Amino acid sequence: MTRGKIQPETKVIRKVLGFINNLHPKELQKANKEFQATQEAQSAKDDTTYYSGFLSYFLLQRKIKGATPMEYALLFPLDFFTKNDRKIIRNFVEYNDSLFQVVHINRKDYLIKNVIDSKKYLIKTIDFPNLLKVNDYISALIVKSQKGSYFFYGNVRAYSKENGEELKKYVLKNIKKIKPRHYPEIEWEIDKQE
C-alpha cells in the first residue's frame, strides 16, 4: 500500500458506511454510544485510535438485526456493490482476530504467526508506528488485501514477550471454548427515517 493514494479497501469502507447509514440511519449513533462504554474506547489515546477501534467494532463485530454491516453489504441482493467491492467486502467478513507473534520485520512489513494454528501472514503497513520487535506478541484483527498480503484493521495491542507468553498459554488452554463464526441469513427491510 502506498501513502497518498486512497486504497480500494478505504473506498469500500466508505461505501459500506453510506449503505448502512441509508438502511439503518440510527445504528451508527447507537453503536457509538455502546462503543464508548468499552475498555478499548476508554483507553484510546486520541481521536484516531478511537475512530479506528470504533470502525472495526461497528463494521465487523456489531450486529444489526443479526448481521454485521459488512455481512449486510456482502449479502445485499442488488447491484449497489461491484464484483470487486464484493471481493474486498468478503475479505473483511473473513477477517482473522487473534494473538500473533512477530516473526520478522522489514521496514513497514511484518511477518506474524498466529499462536493458535502457527499460520504466518505478511502484513503490509502504511503509517503503523515502528514500535514492535521480533518475538513481541500482538492482539490484532487482520484482513486480506487485494494484493494477497494482509493489513491491520482497527487497533493493535502489543505485549512484551513475557506477557505474550502468558496470554498465549491462556488462549491455547481456552481455545476449545471459542465457537466458529457463522454467516447470517438476512431479511431485507429498511428502517424508515423519522
pLDDT tens profile 88-97 = 999 999 999 9
| pTM of the predicted protein model | 0.86
User: Residue 129: its pLDDT value, please?
Assistant: 85
Q: Check which CATH number belongs to the domain holding 159 and give it.
A: 2.40.50.140
Last residue of a domain, one of 38, 72, 93: 93
User: Residue 127: its pLDDT value, please?
Assistant: 82
Residue 53 sits in which domain range? 8-93
User: Residue 2: its pLDDT value, please?
Assistant: 47
Same-domain pairing of 123 and 70: no
187 in any annotated domain? no
Q: Is the dihedral of CA 98, 66, 51, 153 positive or negative?
A: positive
User: Residue 73: its pLDDT value, please?
Assistant: 95
User: Residue 141: its pLDDT value, please?
Assistant: 97
DSSP for the chain reads: --SSSPPHHHHHHHHHHHHHHHHSTTHHHHHHHHHHTSHHHHT--SHHHHHHHHHHHHHHT--BTTB-HHHHHHH--STTS-HHHHHHHHHHHT-EEEEEEEEEEETTEEEEEETTT--EEEEE-SS--S---TT-EEEEEEEE-TTSSEEE-S--EEE-HHHHHHHHHHHHHHGGGPPPP---------PPP-
Same-domain pairing of 115 and 127: yes
End-to-end C-alpha distance for the chain, whole angstroms? 41
- Grid cell, residue 160, equals 512484551
Amino acid residing at 143: V
Q: Which residue ranges of the chain lie beneath pLDDT 50? A: 1-2, 192, 194
Same-domain pairing of 114 and 71: no
- Grid cell, residue 116, equals 493458535
The answer to whether 114 and 96 are in contact (CB under 8 A) is yes
Pair type for strands 157-159 and 120-124: unpaired
